[in-house]
């Protein structure tokens, strides 16, 4: 086994939850590939902060994971640059451009959201898993891991964004499928379900959820942060769950709890 630093790839790593994940992994000393789709300045800022926090190398790689060829290129460029992949975090995703009622959802919005949030990560993870199995067989990596960032929307129905809920619910099953298939290959798979996380994506609905939180929506009565999600990924990356695969970590302020 080589003594080179472990390598983590975070799709959509330049902003929001992805940025929180990158900075948490940097503090573990991981080399990072910060994937981004369009905002190169945000990605570079994340790279600089990650290096300040301890990441030895942090190349930023532009690729749209909804495009299968670009996803393959991201994988190839990671291997060419850093030579290994110990952790792959499927984080990149999009919200509907407009929140529309279930009865008004358009095929165009459906196709866009599912391409980014479900189809792209599924086929990219196929390629990542094959690569990880080869790296492990060659002795390049010891315990490769894959993390899917889903959402409480995989469990809670929101009729104002049905395409997002369907995509995240599908991604939850994708995580389960890969966990079953890859266990025998020595690759562990985890799902993290964030709740209400304070990011650019949630800014348009901030006021409405502020009111719901104040009224008791969450047992832990605050918004989550990208750092909260980052800590969960760092625990996985640090080997905290060696006898788990397919596990779901709820980072949601307790909203999933049922009470009477």
Residues annotated catalytic, as ranges: 164
DSSP codes of every residue in 123-185 = HHHHHHHHHHHHHHHTTS-SS-EEEEE--GGGTS--TT-HHHHHHHHHHHHHHHHHHHHHGGG
CB 108 within 8 A of CB 120: no
Distance CA 160, CA 107 (A): 15
CB 58 within 8 A of CB 26: yes
Distance CA 25, CA 209 (A): 29
Distance CA 80, CA 57 (A): 13
Distance CA 157, CA 250 (A): 17
Closest by CA to 189, choosing from 133, 236, 250, is 236
């Amino acid at each position: 086994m080589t003594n080179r630093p472990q390598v983590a790839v975070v799709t959509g790593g330049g902003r929001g939850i992805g940025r929180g994940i990158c900075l948490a992994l940097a503090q573990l000393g991981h080399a990072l590939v910060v994937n981004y789709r369009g905002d190169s300045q945000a990605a570079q800022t994340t790279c600089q902060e990650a290096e300040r926090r301890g990441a030895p190398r942090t190349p930023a790689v532009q690729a749209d994971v909804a495009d299968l060829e670009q996803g393959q290129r991201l994988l190839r460029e990671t291997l060419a640059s850093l030579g290994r992949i110990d952790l792959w975090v499927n984080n990149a995703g999009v919200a509907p451009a407009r929140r529309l009622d279930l009865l008004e959802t358009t095929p165009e919005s459906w196709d866009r959201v599912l391409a980014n949030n479900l189809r792209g990560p599924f086929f990219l993870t196929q390629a990542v898993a094959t690569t990880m199995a080869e790296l492990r067989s060659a002795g390049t990596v010891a315990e490769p891991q894959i993390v899917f960032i889903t959402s409480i929307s995989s469990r809670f129905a929101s009729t104002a964004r049905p395409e997002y809920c369907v995509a995240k619910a599908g991604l939850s099953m994708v995580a389960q499928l890969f966990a079953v298939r890859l266990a025998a290959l020595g690759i562990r798979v985890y799902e993290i379900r964030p709740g209400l996380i304070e990011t650019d994506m949630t800014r348009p609905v901030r006021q409405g959820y502020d009111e719901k939180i104040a009224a008791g929506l969450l047992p832990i009565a605050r918004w989550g942060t990208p750092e909260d999600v980052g800590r969960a990924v760092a625990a996985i990356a640090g080997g905290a769950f060696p006898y788990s695969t397919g596990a779901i970590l709820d980072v949601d302020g307790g909203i999933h709890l049922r009470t009477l």
